[in-house]
Amino acid sequence: MNGVHDLGGMHGFGPINPEPNEPVFHHDWERRVFGIMIATFGGGHYNVDQFRHAIERMGPVEYLTGSYYEHWLASLETLLTEHGAITQAELDARRAQLSREAK
Amino acid sequence: MSGHSHTAPPSDPELRIKALESLLVEKKLINPDAIDAIIETYETKIGPRNGARVVARAWVDPEYKARLLADGTKAIAELGFTGVQGEDMVVVENTDEVHNVVVCTLCSCYPWPTLGLPPVWYKAAPYRARVVSDPRGVLLEFGTRLSDDVEVRVWDSNAELRYLVLPQRPEGTEGWSEDRLAALVSRDSMIGTAVVPAQGAAS
Question: Which pLDDT belongs to residue A103?
Answer: 76
ipTM for the whole predicted complex goes beyond 0.90? yes
- CATH number of the domain enclosing B94: 3.90.330.10
The verdict on residue A39 lying in a domain is yes
Taking residue B45's Cβ as centre, other Cβ atoms within 10 Å add up to 10
The verdict on residue A79 lying in a domain is yes
> What whole-number percentage of chain B has pLDDT above 90?
86
The radius of gyration of chain B's CA atoms, rounded to the nearest angstrom, is: 20
Report the alpha-carbon distance of residue B100 to residue B164 in Å, rounded.
9
Give how far A102 is from chain B: nearest CA, Å: 9
H or E stretch at B91: strand B89-93
What range defines the domain where residue A72 resides?
A: 28-102
Q: What are phi and psi of B99, to 5 degrees?
A: -120, 130
The verdict on residue A2 lying in a domain is no
Report the alpha-carbon distance of residue A38 to residue A36 in Å, rounded.
5
- In DSSP terms, B203 is beta-bridged to none
The verdict on residue A22 lying in a domain is no
The verdict on residue B22 lying in a domain is no
Q: Specify the number of domains making up chain B.
A: 1
Which distant-in-sequence residues (6+ apart) come within 8 Å of B44 by Cβ? none
The verdict on residue B203 lying in a domain is no
Handedness of CA A69, B160, B138, A54 (dihedral sign): negative
- CATH number of the domain enclosing A47: 1.10.472.20
Chain B residues inside the 8 Å CB shell of A91 = 19-20, 23
Which distant-in-sequence residues (6+ apart) come within 8 Å of B36 by Cβ? A35
Q: What is the pLDDT of residues B130-171, one digit of tens each?
A: 999 999 999 999 999 999 999 999 999 987 899 999 999 999
Chain A residues inside the 8 Å CB shell of B129 = 7-11, 13
The verdict on residue A64 lying in a domain is yes
Task: Pick the catalytic residue from B22, B108, B177, B189.
Answer: B108
Are residues B89 and B73 in contact, defined by beta-carbon separation less than 8 angstroms?
yes
User: Which of helix, strand or coil describes residue A1?
Assistant: coil
The verdict on residue B1 lying in a domain is no
The verdict on residue A55 lying in a domain is yes
User: Which of helix, strand or coil describes residue B58?
Assistant: helix
What range defines the domain where residue B104 resides?
A: 42-191
Q: What is the pLDDT of residues B2-20, one digit of tens each?
A: 444 444 444 599 999 999 9
Best mutation target among A2, A4, A24, A92 (most B Cβ atoms within 10 Å) is A24
Question: Which pLDDT belongs to residue B85?
Answer: 82
Residue B177 counted as an annotated binding residue: no
With an 8 Å Cβ cutoff, is A8 touching chain B? yes
Give how far A71 is from chain B: nearest CA, Å: 10
Q: Tell me the residue length of chain A.
A: 103
The verdict on residue B139 lying in a domain is yes
Residue B189 appears among annotated catalytic residues: no
